[in-house]
A and B are shown apart, each in its own frame.
Chain A
Amino acid sequence: MTILQTENLSKHFGKVKALKSVSMDVREGEVFGFIGPNGSGKSTTIRILLGMLSPTGGEATVFGMDAKNQAVDIHKRIAYVPGEVNLWPNLTGGEVIDLLMSFHGVKNEGRKKELIRDFQFDPSKKCRAYSKGNRQKVALIAALAIEPDLYIFDEPTSGLDPLMERTFQKYVKDARAEGKSVLLSSHILSEVEQLCDRVGIIRDGEIIETGSLTDLRHLTRTNLYVETSHTLENLEQWEGVHAVEQEEAGWSFQVDTEKMDTVMAELSTFGIRKIESAPPTLEDLFMRHYEGSGGGEE
């Protein structure tokens, strides 16, 4: 079942076209990674989904309801953590967490205490004294304590240290295990790889690729390093082989996933002494899409 959907969403700020055409959907019980560099339109899309902005064109629905007109009903079932958390300087972190929870009518003291402990957060300080990471913890703790049906995270870990990032990932995995849905926007690829079932890649206000990580890997190449007993020749002219580089004792290169079979068969005739392969990382995938918009790779 689709939880969240956008169709040909566009948004113009004066002459600036922040979003050109964004179509994506988040299904029930999945973690959807929304990736793209800064300024590509991630936050604008999210702000439309939250009803804070009206789209110039297209449609945005959450739980089958219009994102802008039925915002209050939608928001009863979601929690949101913005990338840049701004808090009231003269309230304490604990006060803000309670305040945000009470807008949902949620008490959930036990879970709140657990979250405060797991995120090693000191709720007694005034918000003006918190670092960026600690302000983010305030929003994260409140969101996770609300336990909604859908979480929307906009680069939630950009201020957290690696240890806290892991705590965050644990909670996201738990949420998915309970059948909750998550929209996770990020430019930290390892995080997306760790958590997401499907990803959508956005660039310059357009979704350029959507699918599961396995789907997308079809479009990518595997990194290989081989050492052979017979000398390899004219490797760069083989079909499906790219980025050939000679190393001290062997060769490293990339192979198109769909040509893997023929390349391996050919390689084995040279007597393989050592072979190392690395799966394509999201980084490779990402880079291919961003290698200059005019590049012939796509």
Chain B
Amino acid sequence: MFHNSGKLLFFLGKADRLRITVWLFSLTVITIAVPLAFGNLYPTQAERDVMAQTLSNPALTAMVGPVNFETYTIGTMTAHEMVLLTALVVGLMNILFVNRHTRVEEEEGLLELVRSLPTGKGANMMAVFLHILFINLLLVLLISVGLGVLGIESMGWNGSMLYGMVLGGSGIFFAGITAISAQLADNARTSFGIAFAVLMIAYLVRAVGDVSAETLSWFSPLHLSSQAEVYGANHWWTILPLFGVGILLFAVAGYMASLRDLDAGLLRSRAGKTTASSFLGTPTGLALRLQRTGIISWGIAMLLLGASYGSILGDLETFFEGNEILQQMLAGESSASFTEQFLSLLIVVIALIATIPALMSMLKLYKEEKSHRVDLLYAHPLSRFQFFASHLSIAAVQGLVMFLLAFAGLWMAGVAVMTEPFSFLTIVGAGMAYYPALLVMVGVTVLLIGFFPEKSGWVWAYLLYAFIVLYFGGLFEFPEWMEYLSPFGYVPELPNEDMTWLPLILLSMVALVMVTIGFRGYKRRDLQG
């Protein structure tokens, strides 16, 4: 039944070696970097206590888990802020790996090839299981040893080992879930969708549970990573259900695989619509429909992002007074309060992040071209202007909506935690001041699509540049002109600075000129294909 599993396993390892390296390397580096950074940022217990105070609010609990430790050492701080989120990422990694070697390969016909060779019927599932077990154990080893050798006082070997095992256990658990979903669905996308939905629900269930009713959290496997209390009580039993259930799920998946035909799923995929709504028959309708899921997800993410930032506005004054590095980040000679200065920084960061979905929508214009799908469209009486304008307007309107959602979230959370909250207009007004800068970024994207379509991805590098300069500008003392190389640098930093309209008007005009020129290029040039 498992004949030749070993050879298959060898091939899986070979095919994945780069992917495994990148994933494990990134996860390990980030995990090790965090306690080191915390050590620098919050060297004294007093500073960490203030931090603990600031972080113990519902929004953050929902994000990273409950505060369940007595002293906020570097160790417990790292565990509190990192274990759950890393487990989430490890879960995603496992879903991708397992889905690739089950459904994706089945869809591509690779499994058919393997089955035609002298391999056992269960060989593939066995090979995938051993492969994924190997990846997760390697991760455990890297993380545990990596954290252990740091030699930080509050991070002993016992806790470091548990840290790694909790991540590995969560990985195996979600690998098992994916092995099952791959048997249920009859295509790779649905299979990924089911597994990913389980991961997200697990995260949300414990978020709600941690904030309001703790019993609810126990329905989520991710709760175990908080419950392990790494570097605190070190509950080793938590890894048993993770590994146990994960392995059990694989066994069940193997059995399910033997029940079904190749290329079939245990769930019949339901028939889709045979006709289109009239909305779909317009360029804008089509573009919106194609981006629907993305836009909705970004909208929710923006609201949550705003709210989570807003939730820390409460105790900021005390927090900043004790921390020089954070004060330096604000680089404030200004007379405004720390909270106001910090708010200005938050707003620019949110604005930069909320720019991403608008740029993605604009880039979709080129993505559709590159995937040859516009060939079919442009053969119809559809002008380049119509198709272009529909993408541009989606990008512009989406930018506005994302800004509103993020800043409304920021304001609402602020109201909840502050004694004297900022007014809605202060926050949303300050945020909206960045809208012309977003339009310039869209303009840059249009220029690239119009003249250097293959290079249109460079706009991300430009956005990253803006982020680094504006976020770390004060900390690293970059020269001022570096800020002015990005459109965001011209925007008055409300409420910290005074409002000036001129730069905003100029930015809007620059955006308009860029879009006009970029469109001329797009209209004239050859479509790629």
Contact = CB atoms under 8 A, between A and B. Distances in A.
B479 interface: no
A73 B381 CA distance: 7
Nearest to A48: B526
A105 B211 CA distance: 54
Contact of B275 (A47, A82, A98): A98
Contacts of B189: 89, 128
B281 A92 contact: no
Interface string B189-218: 100000000000000000000000000000
Chain B contact residues (Cβ within 8 angstroms of A): what range?
A: 20 to 34
B376 interface: yes
B526 A53 contact: yes
Contacts of B373: 86-88
A90 B294 CA distance: 13
B381 A75 contact: yes
A86 B371 contact: yes
Interface stretch (B36-44, B266-274, B349-357): B266-274
Given A53-B526, A71-B383, A139-B376, A88 B272 contact: no
Contacts of B525: 54
State the main secondary structure of chain A at its contact with B: mixed
A102 B527 contact: no
Nearest to A123: B274
Nearest to A101: B281
A139 B380 CA distance: 12
Interface residues of A, number: 43
Interface string A34-61: 0000000000000100111110000000
Nearest to B372: A86
Interface in B499-529: 524-527, 529
Nearest to A80: B379
B112 interface: no
A78 B379 contact: yes
Contacts of A84: 372
A260 interface: no
B377 interface: yes
Interface of B: 187, 189, 269, 271-276, 278, 280-282, 286, 289-290, 371-373, 375-383, 524-527, 529
Interface of A: 47, 50-54, 71-73, 75-76, 78-80, 82, 84-92, 94-104, 123-126, 128-129, 139, 152
21 contacts: A52-B526, A53-B527, A54-B524, A71-B383, A72-B383, A86-B371, A89-B189, A90-B290, A91-B276, A91-B290, A94-B275, A94-B276, A95-B273, A97-B276, A98-B275, A100-B377, A102-B280, A104-B381, A124-B271, A126-B272, A128-B189
